[in-house]
Structure 1
Amino acid sequence: MIDVSVIIVNYKTPRLICDCLQTLYQYTKAVTFEVLVVDNDSGDDSESQVLTEFPEVRWFNMGYNSGFSRASNRGIENARGRYVFLLNSDTLLINDVLAQLVNVLDNRPEVAAVCPMQINRDRQVHHAIFTSFSQLRRHFFIFPHTPFMLKLVHRLIPDPVYSEPDEVQWLSGACLMTRPSVIAKVGALEESFFMYGEDSEWSNRLGKAGKLLTLHDAFIIHLEYGSQDDYRQPDLSHINRFRTQMHVSNLLWYRKQYGLVAYLLVMFHYISLVPIIFGWKMVVNLRQGRPPLYQLDNQTKFAKQLGVFLRFFWPTVFDRKGFYKV
């Protein structure tokens, strides 16, 4: 029987997939695996490029850009391995990390899912990757980063206390291994998500079936910036800290996990911020002898982004099934 079904979602990243698979075959020796690539209507020669180099890959076409959840679920439905491993196309192996993850699941039945640490090309750990829901919830709120406010927000939204060093609340969908039996129990990825937020929502359900672990002695390179759709904004700022699609998905996750009141509180926070950030910038401009409407780009961008959030407001309020794609 195959040990691991490796599932990779593709959208116009054939070269990244080939580089990823080269390292997968180079380093994976102690366990058997199959590779399933699910294509989101790339409209290019991705299939021929990948299958020319790796003809044993099982290729599936979605027929439209279905996002991460639906494409991953297609792979899960067709997986034949004892374990399922979701893997981003922009990742590279540096050792037999699959064997490390399999070893944990083989020997620890109380573990529902596991993933390695993510590092960059320079072998530095990605410290910006969240491991608890509290970290992301605090990041939702835009406030002055004074010592008092930081302490207050940490007190209101504290970090969880884990029973062991590797235990976490949240596993990244970029490199997550779990059991088909766990998926049968808690369900596959929520298909209302187009991209982002789906691993947060899924981690919450996976955690109800057992422990979630991020192994501090297992590593995988996650290039991040090499993917076709970088999740970080090039013009990142304090008030514009998310891409719009990312935050629409995060708000959907927040509504599902923490309920209507928590969601409405966040939305009220964003709506009330609009006059505050515009007014503050205008006052600063006047004090510096500039016209009041000088350099309001960040404020305008935030207001436009809020307009997109409000387009999804009622579907999110009622937690309607759909396709939350910007």
Structure 2
Amino acid sequence: MIVVTYNSRNDIEASLEQLSTGEGIEVVVVDNASSDGTQVLLQDLHGRGLIDQLVLSPSNDGFAKAVNEGIRRSVGRDIFLLNPDAQIDGKGVESLRDAIRADSSIGIIAPLVESGPTVAVMAAGRQPTLWPLFTHFTGLARAFPRWKLMRGRHLFMRHHSRDRQDVEWVSGCALYVSERAVKEVGLLSERWFMYGEDIEFAHRVLKAGFRVVVTPEVKATHLIGSSVNKAGGRVSTMWAENTYDYYVREFGAGPVRRTIWRIIFSAGLVSRALLFRVRGLRKPELRGEYRGRAERFERFAWSVWRKGHDGV
């Protein structure tokens, strides 16, 4: 079990206490130079036995580097990644462990991650190539959820959360990796400070001949984006920028495909921003909340067009 913390004082204790219900779970926590008292709390949790190995980094070098450091220090057979603002009980982790060890074809298995009633999509889906991006943002994926050809960047909770699914990526907020997959594909890519490393890792696992699976038999909760929203600034657009960078780099997209990708991505997000602004006009009591959501989508949309950001 690898957990990377950064200013996670309000989340980490509850997350680790949930894990204490399981057996045989080694907990390795790597802190990325928190400044909010997280490190003091972690030392206390370490003393209480909720953390097996604690690494207090003097600098914040990004999520993937911290995960890789945790993997190197772990003595466990498999690896389970968990965000500090995500929660899963120890029995759930045991179930994931049992499932992945019972089927050698599975390289990654993830729980069904629930992020509240306002989040309609799963933290899983298809790689961010042109067609899945197009079906997602045009609404085709939502209109024809049972057609595999139409499945988009994200699967929808309403239609795809009842059965175990083979997917092309799962979120790094909660994913279990088999020992064989780790040995075969190695560590996470450190190309990005944060975001992008989970879809790139899943793609390598698939190319190595393993399956990537999400199962509703085990559930986790995730306070999606809470730490990023607090951070603001450039970090708040890294998801969009790094997804574009990954697409260009991994799939060898030339100028034409880059432009088409940007248009689909930006148009889809701007349309969602406009929808929230209209909702704000209709519901004045929620205008501030809707405006905030609209502005966030707009930042994502324009960030992939930033000068000098060519994804290479």
**Do both proteins adopt the same fold according to a TM-score greater than 0.5, normalized to the shorter chain?**
yes
* 1:33 partner SS: coil
**Distance (whole Å) between structure 2 residues aligned to residue 303 and residue 178 of structure 1:** 32
Give the alignment of 1:294-309 within 5 angstroms: 305-308=303-306
The aligned residue for residue 97 of structure 1 is: 92
Following superposition, the deviation at residue 50 of structure 1 comes to 1.9
Name the residue aligned to 1:291: none
What residue number does 2:45 align with? 53
Q: For residue 171 of structure 1, what is the aligned residue in structure 2?
A: 170
* Alpha-carbon distance between aligned partners in 1 of 2:81 and 2:229, rounded to the nearest angstrom: 18
Change (3 A) 1:32 1:126: farther
Asked if structure 2 preserves the Cα contact closer than 8 Å seen for 1:91 and 1:223, the reply is yes
Distance in 2 (alpha carbons) for counterparts of 1:303 and 1:228: 20
Q: Which residue of 2 aligns with 1:68?
A: 63
Q: Could you say if the C-alpha distance between residues 220 and 206 of structure 1 is closer, same or farther in structure 2, counting changes exceeding 3 Å? A: same
CA distance in 1, matches of 2:118, 2:302: 34
The TM-score with structure 1 as length reference comes to 0.69
More helix by share: 2
Pairing 1:132–2:131 present:
no
Distance (whole Å) between structure 2 residues aligned to residue 20 and residue 300 of structure 1: 32
1:221 correspondence with 2:214: no
Structure 2 residue corresponding to 1:109, chosen from 99, 104, 109: 104
* 8 A contact 2:241–2:304 mirrored in 1: no
TM-score normalised to structure 2 length: 0.72
Which range moves more in the overlay, 126-135 or 108-117?
126-135
Q: Which runs of 5 or more structure 1 residues have no equivalent in the other structure?
A: 1-5, 234-241, 282-296, 318-326
User: Structure 1 pair 143/77, CA: closer, same or farther in 2 (3 Å)?
Assistant: closer
Alignment-mate amino acid for residue 305 of structure 1: S
Q: Which amino acid aligns with 2:178?
A: R
Residue 18 of structure 2 aligns with which residue? 23
Task: String of CA shifts for 1:265-298, please: whole Å, max 9, x gaps.
Answer: 2335647999xx9xxx9xxxxxxxxxxxxxxx97
**Which ranges in structure 2 are unaligned for 5 or more consecutive residues?**
153-162, 275-293
SS at match of 2:10: helix
Percentage of pairs with the same residue: 22
Alpha-carbon separation, structure 2, partners of 1:40 and 1:48: 13
Which structure has the larger Rg over C-alpha atoms? 1
Q: 1 CA distance for matches of 2:188 and 2:121?
A: 23
The aligned counterpart of 2:207 is 208
Residue deviations 1:247-273, cap 9 Å, x none?
A: 111012112332132x75233564799
1:166-189 per-residue CA deviation (whole Å, 9 max, x = no partner) reads 322112111111123322211211
Does residue 83 of the first structure (1) align with residue 75 of the second (2)?
Answer: no
How far is 1:128 from its partner?
1.6
What residue number does 1:44 align with?
Answer: 36
Matched, 1:311 2:304: no
How far has the Cα of 1:36 moved from its partner? 1.0
State how many pairs are aligned. 270
For 2:207, the aligned partner's letter is: K
- Secondary structure of 1:311's match? coil
